[in-house]
Amino acid sequence: MGKKVTVVGAGFYGSTTAQRLAEYDIFDTVVLTDIIEGRPAGLALDMNQSRPIEGFETRVVGITTGPNGEGYEGIGGSDVVVITAGLPRKPGMSRMDLLGVNAKIVRQVSENVAKHAPNAVVIVVSNPLDEMTALTQIATQFPKNRVLGQAGMLDSARFTTFVAEELGVPVASVQTLTLGSHGDTMVPVPSQSTVNGKPLAELLPADKIEELVTRTRNGGAEVVGLLKTGSAYYAPSAAAARMARAVAEDSGAIMPVCAWVDGEYGISGVYLGVQAEIGATGVKRVVETDLTDAERAALEEAAEAVRAKQADVASL
Ligand SMILES: NC(=O)c1ccc[n+]([C@@H]2O[C@H](COP(=O)([O-])OP(=O)(O)OC[C@H]3O[C@@H](n4cnc5c(N)ncnc54)[C@H](O)[C@@H]3O)[C@@H](O)[C@H]2O)c1
């Protein structure tokens, strides 16, 4: 049987993710859903008409879902579900300002996903990311390895882009890593960041690295500030689509994701940005990497910050 992936939420993030997934041409079907009547069907029709030009056979199906779960039967049999439903930030807002409103949306979506796609791996992107990932696991009651969140791939891609631009080198020669939360306690990891295998610290002065780290931490807000309405979606959708692909292909790729941490780095019982091996079962294992004392302390701080917030989401 061919693979099926569902993207919930046909806004900017969801529609660009669906398009990327379709263009991979590795799925039989990409399902795109939204609560706005006609929008997913219209986008699906449009994407399908790009098939002869881009040369892919995957079919995109658009479904409008109702407040009582109407339409969700169409996601049945999905191997992967990407949840993008929810409000994005406006200038001046923090991701945490979205907590109450997006929790209601994500809980409703998760309950329907659990009912209609009980074997899916769920990739969460709705913000605030770490909290919405924890909530999705609670609301679906899926095993923790089958629920993960997208943040680290995007944050690392931003860090990589800034480093490449600063040094005037191809992005492909730069390797960076960010861990921790998708928020104020994001932990960019310069000690694991290299250019053509050379440590970043040998190529840039410490204050310049710190400047790029700060820009990475504020990378989402920088885009929001320019757009005025809505938030980033090209780089975010690239990250979520790659994660969904790793699940569908059972590739075992190691990616920075928001995963359930159970003892790694001496941290337990929290969804946190770490590197993990991704495959058909979701997170196959969390991969620990060497950190400096300061980076390790920052990761522990991030864990405590998100732990406190994640404890509250069960009641939302
Ligand atoms: N994790 C990340 O790195 C990252 C990056 C960028 C954006 N985001 C988040 O992704 C989310 C989506 O962003 P966007 O730019 O696509 O926003 P958007 O406003 O363009 O789209 C959101 C869509 O969700 C739909 N929706 C609302 N409730 C729904 C429900 N119950 N079921 C199905 N669909 C529903 C809306 O109708 C809308 O079409 C936001 O929460 C944003 O903050 C996360």
Chain segment 167-215, per-residue pLDDT in tens: 999 999 999 999 999 988 999 999 999 999 999 999 999 999 999 999 9
Instruction: Give me the half-sphere count of Cα atoms (radius 13 Å) on the Cβ side of residue 53.
Output: 5
**pLDDT value for 93:** 87
pLDDT band at 1 (very low <50, low <70, confident <90, very high): low
* Mean pLDDT rounded to a whole number for the chain: 96
Does residue 17 surpass a pLDDT of 80? yes
**Ligand 1 centroid distance, CA of 87 (Å):** 5
Is 182 a catalytic site residue? yes
Task: Please report, for the chain, how many H helices and E strands are present, in that order.
Answer: 10, 14
Distance 247 CA to ligand 1 centre (A): 22
Can you tell me which residue has the tokens 């990589």?
A: 160
211-268 confidence digits (pLDDT tens): 999 999 999 999 999 999 999 999 999 999 999 999 999 999 999 999 999 999 999 9
- Residue 8 β-bridge partners: 33, 83
User: What is the SS3 string spanning 62-75?
Assistant: EEECCCCCCCHHHH
- Position 124 scores a pLDDT of 98
Q: What pLDDT digit, counting tens, does each position of 290-311 carry?
A: 999 999 999 999 999 999 888 8
Q: 52-61 burial, b if ≥16 CB within 10 A, otherwise e?
A: eeeebebbbb
Angle between the N-to-C axes of helices 129-140 and 99-116, in degrees from 0 to 180, rounded to the nearest 10: 40
Label the pairing between strands 29-34 and 186-188: unpaired
Residues in a beta bridge with 186: 180
Residue nearest to atom 4 of ligand 1 (CA): 125
DSSP, residue by residue, 287-302: E-----HHHHHHHHHH
CB of residue 183 inside a 6 A radius of ligand 1: no
pTM for this structure?
Answer: 0.97
The reply to whether ligand 1 has any atom less than 6 angstroms from the CB of 236 is yes
| CA 190 to ligand 1 center in whole angstroms | 31
Closest ligand 1 atom to 10 CA: 39
Whether ligand 1 lies within 6 angstroms of the CB of 87 is answered as yes
Helix axes 129-140, 293-313, angle to 10 degrees: 50
- E-strand ranges in 99-235 read 121-124, 147-149, 174-175, 178-180, 186-188, 194-195, 198-199
Choose one of 87, 90, 153, 306 to mutate for the ligand 1 pocket test, by most ligand atoms within 8 angstroms of C-beta: 87
58 CA to centre of ligand 1 in angstroms: 23
Span 88-110, mean pLDDT?
92
What is the predicted pLDDT for the residue at 248? 98
Q: SS3 breakdown of the chain: % helix, strand, coil, rounded to 5?
A: 50, 20, 30
Identify whether 118 is preceded by a cis peptide bond (ω within 30 of 0): no
In degrees and rounded to multiples of 5, residue 282 shows phi and psi of 95, -120
Say if CB 13 and CB 33 are below 8 A apart: no
